[in-house]
Structure 1
Amino acid sequence: MNFIIIIFCFGIYGFIVLIFYWLYVKLFEKKVNKIKEEKAKIEQIRIQNIIKKPTARDYDKEPIVVENRYERKSDLTIIFFMFLLFFYLIINSLEPQVDTFDNHIRRAALTTGTIGILILIYKIIILTKSIKYKIWIKIYQKHLEYEYINDIAKKEYIRIDFNEDLKVGYSFIPIVRLKNNKKNGKITFNDRYEKILFYPLRLIINFVFSLVFYLLNLYKINKYYVFKSDKFIVSVLASDELKNRFGKVQFEILTLTNSLVYIKKD
């Protein structure tokens, strides 16, 4: 019965969010989007001018090289968080329930928690094997190469070309993502509504991730440059070399709800 009450409350919350979002779309969305597009266009022109500007340093022969030290900390953060979640599911599902429906939910949670723990053990084994590798991020004249460790403990890299789609920002926690371009870049009303509906939850989860990451980083807060292309988003630990190359950039608001490393390549 508790599950049904939760679903009912969530339905009311979803309806309220839908009403407010519909009002926003009808009254303010066009004006807000116009302002955002103008700012983005100005920043994009600035970045393109920086990329095309001749430099005294030949970055193809002498690239900016930064060791990727945050990926393993990011992996540990996610493993730690998911372990607590799966462990909670297992502990909370050990006692049988009187209600038949609640008992089915209990069994599903117990199964999910057990399988999740086994997957995390595999992830830890892969992470242990990857310690022997040093991974780097290299920034050349017109592209960036980001090295990472795949699911079988082998080195791979993704490449971001500095073309007209490039956007550069900054954050205080790293983010690496394979971008999800839904429906060839066309985002529907339902897509945006779903994103807003779960925004508070994503914000809270990301905040917890950030706290654990800072703990593993010995409470040291670093600044990262965030590079966004049409396919990938990657972060690079800030340095004087990057500042000299790309100058002052805007805060990447995406990192409030999406951070740490998640790469899924086909």
Structure 2
Amino acid sequence: MRHKSDTTHISHDKAGHLSLSDPIIKLDNVQLTLTSRAGPVHILRGVSLAIPRGQSAAIVGPSGSGKTSLLMTMAGLERATSGRITVAGRDLGSLSEDNLAVLRGADMGIVFQSFHLVPTMTALENVALPMELAGETKAFETARDLLAEVGLSARVDHFPAELSGGEQQRVAIARALSRSPDILFADEPTGNLDGRTGKQIIELLFGLRERRGATLVIVTHDNKLAAMTDRVIRMTDGAIVADERTEPAMRAVSS
């Protein structure tokens, strides 16, 4: 099983090296405005934020507050209208779509609420796919190890339709870890799961994050989940209205 050292896969920009003390994610006055028939819609309004390497952070707020849009801009899946986003030492605004895809493949893992598994592929094939596309020769061997790490050794040959919601999310998490990312983004990872299964997925995510030393950014409506992170970022109407560090005792109780 591959486990990265503290410096593996960290990218560098032309200005210099990204040191371990630099934020792995940094946003400066980020705006996101989309057009509609009624006129421009301001989704993000001047968001500035720095997330250190290895930190866990929850983004919370009411529906429509911009939580998922913020995560999507950090992951390079949505282009900011203005401002600057730097991830793993790279200015996302300066990258082409192809280079953004390379950066996501090398440094980011993304877990969505809806799993996004390929229905005609087995669990093993779904996890191996990103590694195969990257030309890794041991893609299936690593995929089998990852599925074992998330507790699915007995389900590797099952298709998504043959798996429960919790099992599908485990496959999605294994796939997100397939390139050993430095950053793990999760958008409402328990939103489609019952309470007991959701708790198991959260324990899995935090356990993997602890073992691998990755930065974890979670969008959630769940206050108990948010309290398990190192930091809670609260949004309203496209802006950050509070940025709170959680107490270690709170995290222990929540877990």
> TM (normalized to structure 2)?
0.22
> TM (normalized to structure 1)?
0.22
* Structure with greater helix percent: 1
* Structure with greater strand percent: 2
Tell me which structure has the larger Cα radius of gyration.
1
